[in-house]
Amino acid sequence: MPSLTAFGNTSIAIPSSAPPGTIVARQYFTPQEFCGANTCKIGSATLSHKGNFVTGSTSGPDLETNVSGLSTRMLIDGVPVTQSISTTLRNRVEVQLFRDSRTPKNGSLNSGSFSLYYQIWGPGWIPDSTVVYLSAKVSFINGTCSVPDQTVTLPPVQQNAFSGVGSTTGTVDFQLRLNNCPAGYNRIGYQLSPLDGAVAGSPGTLQLRPESTAAGVGIRIDDGMTGSPLPLQHSITVTGYNKNTGGSPSIPLRASYIQTDTMIKGGSVRAAAQVLLDYR
């Protein structure tokens, strides 16, 4: 009977202002980890609030944890696990922690009598099973960083400044500012989410806004330290954040025009992205 522990021996920091339903942590298991094979046949599940299989039995999929304000659910190949699940695991098991409507209080996921939240059974009369415990210290932090709106202005350029698809010009360095980040988080991540989508096949490149009159170009955002295109819609660690002191870290970035088509039409160029932050 495989025995697994999700979030074991870690500390998780969560904004106390996170609304109910916000997923704050995930852990994944492969079929090999879950049942020792490439696929796992599943016939049913025993789910227990607060990890107490004696008094906490529930049909699921959402289970309260021992930490007030935090619940958990399990997904098998993207499908939430309930007591009556019958399926075959082919890709991965995901265990989520998410905010619930209870008053948030610091605590430990394994502070109860058993901490056995999930027991997943195979098919048949005498099935094998996999048990999943939860174990982590959880802290709720008052406050999050603020991100002021920011406009980056690139210089006017001529069409002949480009040398072909993928070439860049008009580069401007700038700082993405995060203000008043509280101390206590283990990690703060940021990502840029383009308002009008990304240019396919051109890493780090924002599509132009509808009011732009130019064509055949985009705006590329690079990491200001490495010069590499910034992965869009992907969480990147804010390396300037200090867990002990908090503060207002800045992230060096770089914006450029980039040619995205063989034909360029002159005109105005505008692009925009939303800055999203995540906390652990």
Domain containing residue 275: 159-279
Cis peptide before 127 (omega within 30 of 0): no
Q: Does one domain contain both 271 and 178?
A: yes
- Number of Cβ within 10 Å of residue 251's Cβ equals 20
Report which of 234, 24, 272 is spatially closest to residue 138, judged by C-alpha positions: 24
- The pLDDT value recorded for residue 1 is 63
Q: Does one domain contain both 22 and 132?
A: yes
Asked whether the predicted pLDDT for residue 9 surpasses 90, the reply is no
Total domains in the chain come to 2
Show which of 141, 171, 205 is a domain's final residue. 141
In this prediction, residue 128 has a pLDDT band, given cuts at 50, 70 and 90, of confident
Q: Which spans in the chain are helix H?
A: 31-35
- Both tokens assigned to 84: 């009556």
Nearest-angstrom CA–CA distance, 13 and 140: 6
In this prediction, residue 124 has a pLDDT band, given cuts at 50, 70 and 90, of confident
- The pLDDT value recorded for residue 113 is 67
Show which of 141, 176, 194 is a domain's final residue. 141
Q: Does one domain contain both 129 and 168?
A: no
| Residue bearing tokens 């009556």 | 84
Asked if residue 238 is part of any domain, the answer here is yes
Show which of 141, 176, 203 is a domain's final residue. 141
Interval 83-120: pLDDT, tens = 999 999 999 999 999 999 999 999 999 876 678 899 99
Per 3-state DSSP, the chain is made up of helix, strand and coil in percentages (nearest 5) of 5, 45, 55
Nearest-angstrom CA–CA distance, 49 and 57: 6
For 38, the 3-state DSSP assignment is coil
When computed from its CA atoms, the radius of gyration of the chain, rounded to whole angstroms, is: 24
Q: Does one domain contain both 134 and 186?
A: no
Asked if residue 10 is part of any domain, the answer here is yes
Domain CATH code at residue 55: 2.60.40.3310
β-bridge pairing 79-80 and 70-76? antiparallel
Asked whether the predicted pLDDT for residue 261 surpasses 90, the reply is yes
Residues 6 or more apart in contact with residue 235 via CB below 8 angstroms: 189, 190, 191, 278
Question: Which has the higher per-residue pLDDT, 54 or 203?
Answer: 203
Q: Does one domain contain both 122 and 174?
A: no
- The pLDDT value recorded for residue 4 is 92
Question: Which has the higher per-residue pLDDT, 122 or 257?
Answer: 257
Percent of the chain with pLDDT over 70: 99
Interval 45-92: pLDDT, tens = 999 999 887 777 888 899 999 999 999 999 999 999 999 999 999 999
Asked if residue 127 is part of any domain, the answer here is yes
Q: Does one domain contain both 22 and 98?
A: yes
Asked if residue 261 is part of any domain, the answer here is yes
Domain CATH code at residue 164: 2.60.40.1090
- The pLDDT value recorded for residue 91 is 93
Torsion of CA 232, 238, 240, 242, to 10 degrees: 170
Report which of 247, 55, 219, 39 is spatially closest to residue 123, judged by C-alpha positions: 39
Most confident of 4-8, 18-22, 251-255: 251-255
Q: What mean pLDDT is reported for the chain? A: 93
Q: Does one domain contain both 204 and 255?
A: yes
Q: What is the DSSP track for 140-205?
A: EES---B------PPPP--GGG--STT-EEEEEEEEEE-B-BPTT-S-EEEEEEETT-BPTTSTTE
